[in-house]
Amino acid sequence: MKFYKAFLILLICAGVKSASAQGVQISAGGVPVQDRDMSDVVGSPYVNAEWGKGTVKLKDDKVYTNIDLKYSDYDDALYFKSAEDKMQSFAVPVVDFTISYAEDGNPVLKHFRNGYHIQGYDGNAYFEVFNEGKAQFLKKTKKKIETQSVYGSTGSDKKFVSTTKYFLVNGDKSAIVKKDKKSILEALGDKQTELEAYIKSNNLNLKEESDIAKLLTYYNSI
């Protein structure tokens, strides 16, 4: 994937800090995370319930690779495993990170970044990034706890519920989009003839995130 190759180049240029598989000592320090008991809530607040391996770039331009990470859609926060096997948050803000983990036995690689100017979100909000360049396809997933009364009981059930929004950022403009051809082409606005031809010749299905990313990569190249 192009964004991942670009991120690897960034690691070389920035001077990578290595980390062990058992945890890492971040030179900028970590902030202990208060334990919260969510055992009564069905599901997980994290993108990856188990620790995943990843690379982070901090606001001070330091880069760390091969560290254990968990990203919470509930808190919109990234956590790492310290050398003492404790969950900690970063003392210096993270501006960009990748995380890999297994889901249903399949490998997953996700790339997140903040700093976008999108209405309804501050600059600290992380968005999943599907492609690089001037025009980018982004995804924002937010989890919340939903409580439902149990029929015939005084108790209630709690579960994590996800909502997802997609955005197309093009320079200093952004728009909410749907995963369909009409929405994506309207948000881009120009180069319609070239895009239509590319969609047809490559048999793209713009209901698929990966195919939308391919189209945006092509759009940025013409």
The verdict on residue 172 lying in a domain is no
| Regions of the chain with pLDDT less than 50 | 2-22
CA angle 31, 78, 135 (to 5 degrees): 140
Q: Distance between CA 79 and CA 64 in Å, rounded? A: 13
Q: Looking at residue 207, what is its pLDDT?
A: 98
DSSP type of residue 215: H
Q: Looking at residue 25, what is its pLDDT?
A: 59
The verdict on residue 200 lying in a domain is no
| Domain boundaries, position 22 | 1-113
Query: Mean of the per-residue pLDDT values for the chain?
Result: 89
The pLDDT tens digits for 159-202 are 999 999 999 999 999 999 999 999 999 999 999 999 999 999 99
The verdict on residue 98 lying in a domain is yes
The verdict on residue 16 lying in a domain is yes
Q: Distance between CA 88 and CA 142 in Å, rounded? A: 21
Q: Looking at residue 151, what is its pLDDT?
A: 73
Q: Distance between CA 61 and CA 57 in Å, rounded? A: 6
Stated pTM of the model = 0.85
The verdict on residue 138 lying in a domain is no
Q: Looking at residue 24, what is its pLDDT?
A: 58
Q: Looking at residue 30, what is its pLDDT?
A: 84
Considering its fold, how many domains does the chain have in total?
1
Q: Looking at residue 27, what is its pLDDT?
A: 57
The pLDDT tens digits for 115-132 are 999 999 999 999 999 999
